[in-house]
Amino acid sequence: MAERANIGILGASGYTGSELLRLLLRHPRIDIALLTADRRAGQTMRDVFPQFSPYALPRLVAIDDLDWPSTGVDLVFCALPHGTTQTVIDALLTAAPHVKVVDLSADFRLFDADAYARWYGHAHRAEALQREAVYGLVEVYREKIKGARLVANPGCYTTCAQLPLLPLIRAGAIAVDEIVIDAKSGVTGAGRAAKEANLFTEVSEGFHAYGVGHHRHMAELDQEFSKAAGRPVVPTFTPHLVPMNRGILSTIYVRGSAGQGAEELHAILVDAYADEPFVHVLPFGEMPQTRHVRGSNMTFIGVAKDRVAGRAIIGSALDNLAKGASGQAVQNMNLMLGYPETLGLEQVALFP
Ligand SMILES: NC(=O)C1=CN([C@@H]2O[C@H](COP(=O)(O)OP(=O)(O)OC[C@H]3O[C@@H](n4cnc5c(N)ncnc54)[C@H](OP(=O)(O)O)[C@@H]3O)[C@@H](O)[C@H]2O)C=CC1
Ligand SMILES: CC(=O)N[C@@H](CCC(=O)OP(=O)(O)O)C(=O)O
């Protein structure tokens, strides 16, 4: 294990890229060696995000201008739009095969080439790497991540839903054909690039569902839930956009298997996460709030009884830019570099 590592951030001028930089500037064992942008290439981080003014940072460069071996990077975070990433990482790992990569996009999360083509509308452009990638949900794949060269950081909605549900599915404690996930996200989840749908006037003073019946995160949920259950699982999942900057809250409706009431489901989760630094199960009956995880790498989970016999209501909250993206990516980096998993991630939520 090296004492320090040189880090690159592809897409540093975006929301997850800048959140990575915010976290990494407080990390004791890394140096920022490379920052890239597309439209903002040539500018400084200060031009794009003035909060970085006090720090001496490399200028934003275009990926096409890079000669990978001479960048000197040991590990690269790829925070680019999905679809863009696979060719960039393929070129990077061809030119510099020793570099480790944490990809924040959806490009390497689906291991089945047909499923990828079906959900994303084109054949994967780096199939060998798709097969090599390790899915980066640390609480499940910790040991595989430690030896990985390419880690596919999970999606924000999917992290929020998987953390409470996977232990229950694995234990056979819930009816897997009756899972309903009602999720709400802040607007940073959609990225910084200007889109009409994300204008203040379109988002404020309102609240709406989108991607109803076909959001691409369903593919990731199907894959991981089916793996945990040992048979196909297809949950109901509906995302909503709410007028706040950060945070995801998922309210999840489940039916317990025979003999598994809400208290038993709660006990399974308490047991599963007793030693996990970034998953906190609240006392029975308490529901999580996004404001209590904002800016931290934590996921808060709550379980309560439904008045409908046999059903339970589960709440899960995380910060989409932290545990839902950049925080989880740094957690993955720490494992890949052999550092303590929590290094640079100890921030308590920013509240009030
Ligand atoms: N936002 C979130 O909460 C989450 C995001 N993700 C995923 O992380 C990735 C980054 O998301 P986010 O930070 O929100 O996105 P942003 O739109 O905020 O940032 C995108 C970044 O990629 C750069 N970029 C855009 N197009 C290209 C291109 N063709 N070639 C090279 N660089 C390009 C942009 O540069 P420039 O600014 O110069 O145009 C910018 O730096 C996405 O794949 C997203 O799906 C995953 C989980 C949560
Ligand atoms: C609010 C919002 O728009 N959220 C994004 C999901 C966040 C994300 O970026 O997910 P991936 O990493 O899988 O791309 C969306 O619904 O597409």
How far away, in angstroms, is 92 Cα from ligand 1 center? 18
Tell me, using a 6 A CB cutoff, whether residue 86 lines ligand 1: no
pLDDT at residue 74, rounded to an integer? 98
- C-alpha 235/C-alpha 267 separation (Å) is 23
Q: Which residue has the tokens 């694995």?
A: 170
Residue corresponding to tokens 């998987």: 162
Domain ranges of the chain: 5-132, 157-320
Q: What is the pTM of this model?
A: 0.97
State ipTM: 0.98
Q: Whose CA is nearest to atom 12 of ligand 1?
A: 191
Question: Could you say which of 3.40.50.300, 3.40.50.2300, 2.70.70.10, 3.40.50.720 is the CATH number of the domain covering 5-132?
Answer: 3.40.50.720
pLDDT tens-place string over residues 310-338: 999 999 999 999 999 999 999 999 999 99
Index of the ligand 1 atom closest to the CA of residue 191: 14
Render each residue's pLDDT in the chain as its tens digit; 352 residues: 789 999 999 999 999 999 999 999 999 999 999 999 999 999 999 999 999 999 999 999 999 999 999 999 999 999 999 999 999 999 999 999 999 999 999 999 999 999 999 999 999 999 999 999 999 999 999 999 999 999 999 999 999 999 999 999 999 999 999 999 999 999 999 999 988 989 999 999 999 999 999 999 999 999 999 999 999 999 999 999 999 999 999 999 999 998 899 999 999 999 999 999 999 999 999 999 999 999 999 999 999 999 999 999 999 999 999 999 999 999 999 999 999 999 999 999 999 8
Q: What fold, for 157-320?
A: Dihydrodipicolinate Reductase; domain 2 (3.30.360)
Gap between the Cα atoms of 281 and 274, Å rounded: 8
**pLDDT tens for residues 84-143?**
999 999 999 999 999 999 999 999 999 999 999 999 999 999 999 999 999 999 999 999
Sign of CA dihedral 280, 321, 316, 170: negative
